[in-house]
Amino acid sequence: MKCMSYIQCIFFLILLGIVLSTYFLQSGVLKRKIVPSLTELQPTESCQGAELTKQFETDELDDLLERRTKEFKQHQFRRKTNADIIIAPGNSPLQYPITGFKVAPLKKSIIPGLALQTQGRGKNEVYKVSLSVKKGVLSVEDVLDGDQVEGQSQNELTISSTSRTHLNDLLSRVTYTSTIYHIKTSDLVNFSFEDHEAIFPIMIRRPSVPFLYDPGKDVNSQVTIITKTFLRYKELNILIESIRKFYPQIKIIVADDSLNPERLSGNNIEHYVMPPTQGWFAGRNLALSQVTTKYFLWVDDDFVFLNNTRIESFVEIMEAVPDLDVLGGEVMGDQFYFILEYDEGNESDGGCLRRIKEVHQPLLGYDGCFLVDGVINYFLARTDTVRSVGFDPFLKRVAHTEFFIDALGKLLVASCKGLSIGHQTHRANDKYYTYRNQGKLEEEEKLAHHFFKNYLNYIKY
């Protein structure tokens, strides 16, 4: 074939390449690459830290990436993280609920606020509006003879009238019924009049049953103190004695995975003995699972209550700011806190996460309190919301930031100066530290765990 010009030749070669690529892909001669290779996973300028792919051999990484990508896509689907963003058009004569309209699955509900707001017309001119949905059907309640309604109990509904008042009366009785049972999904309504069109969402949600905690009359019915112990009974008994000095009746829950468990004495203490060396987060989960109060106070087994250790101060703030889920204090003057800088990355590589010693902003109305992402290992928390996140039992020895990574975007966290507790002087306990310290292999396993579980490619503590 002779090209008529240089530009036409270039265009022809590009077109030919597209056609041949499509043919080879469809015929199986070429294979689409589902996941990136190790060499393609490169850090961005702002994302540095431990490179998690280095925890794997090259020959196992591609299969792992494929499995991880598949799981991540399912996670996105469940969470609806790629939901459509709907922008209401300006200057439209259509009135409709922009957002917040919820219905129960398979139940009929009137769509609130539907109306046509336009100028009056000639005597015999007709107003005509249309509505359509995909996951349900539309109807007009109490239709009378002469009402011009088409598409009753179908996914497309048309309403006409020569009277705008009558039309709006019919619109005020339009109902939506989902035809697909799902506890958490949504539908889109197309609402049109002449050249005007609006799209608004209907959230389909199965109503959940409240889970309420009776606060009782004092802190003993509001808060349970929980801790995890391992080979530190001297410290644990000092902690319990200090608690009882200020709170004689409050419940204490102890999860214990010591090698040779010892008996704990005292009133209102629940001592749960686990198989030996199950680990830090497994014990936290066990203790939390037994809490029956609205809040729990987490303490390490080597802390000690002081004269100014006031659980009531925690509760007062949490009750005044009901959005808060976790409120951290300070240990021996150390108000440790941090924020997590998280870059989701792209779907093929995974994300990047860094822990930074900063705050988001002050907690309004409370001096010395700040909104953060993670706090020190001394905090009051809402039982139900923390239980919904849980503590990953894979993490046995060194684990604290990891809980707040899992809680990111799910729990609202704050830290307050002045909510203090003491820390006991460390005693020689070689056996304890043999188990407590994390070895190189365990550190590598933890990084590999973050790679798959949290869909991360880089992490920096």
CA–CA separation, 423 vs 301, rounded Å?
Answer: 9
Q: How many CB atoms lie within 10 A of CB 442?
A: 14
Distances (CA, A) of 58 to 55, 65, 74, 312, 447: 9, 11, 25, 54, 16
Quick one: which H or E segment has residue 362? strand 361-362
35-39, 348-352, 445-449 — which is least confidently predicted? 35-39
CA–CA separation, 58 vs 27, rounded Å?
Answer: 29
CA–CA separation, 84 vs 64, rounded Å?
Answer: 30
**Tokens matching residue 370:** 């700040």
**Tokens matching residue 345:** 């990355």
CA–CA separation, 61 vs 64, rounded Å?
Answer: 5
Q: How far apart are the first and last CA of the chain?
A: 63
10-24, 72-86, 374-388 — which is least confidently predicted? 10-24
| Domains, the chain, with CATH or none | 94-205 (2.60.40), 221-460 (3.90.550.10)
Segment 321-337 shows an average pLDDT of 95
Residue 431, SS3 per DSSP:
helix
Using DSSP, how many helices (H) and how many strands (E) does the chain show?
11, 26
Hey, which bits of 52-147 come out as E strands? 94-95, 102-103, 108-110, 115-116, 127-132, 136-140
pLDDT confidence of 435, banded at 50, 70, 90?
A: low
Q: What is the pLDDT of residues 59-110, one digit of tens each?
A: 888 888 888 888 788 777 776 655 566 666 666 799 999 888 999 999 999 9
**Tokens matching residue 399:** 């684990």
The alpha helices in 28-88, defined as continuous H runs, are 58-79
Q: What percent of the chain has pLDDT over 70?
A: 84
**Tokens matching residue 125:** 């001119």
**Tokens matching residue 323:** 């959005």
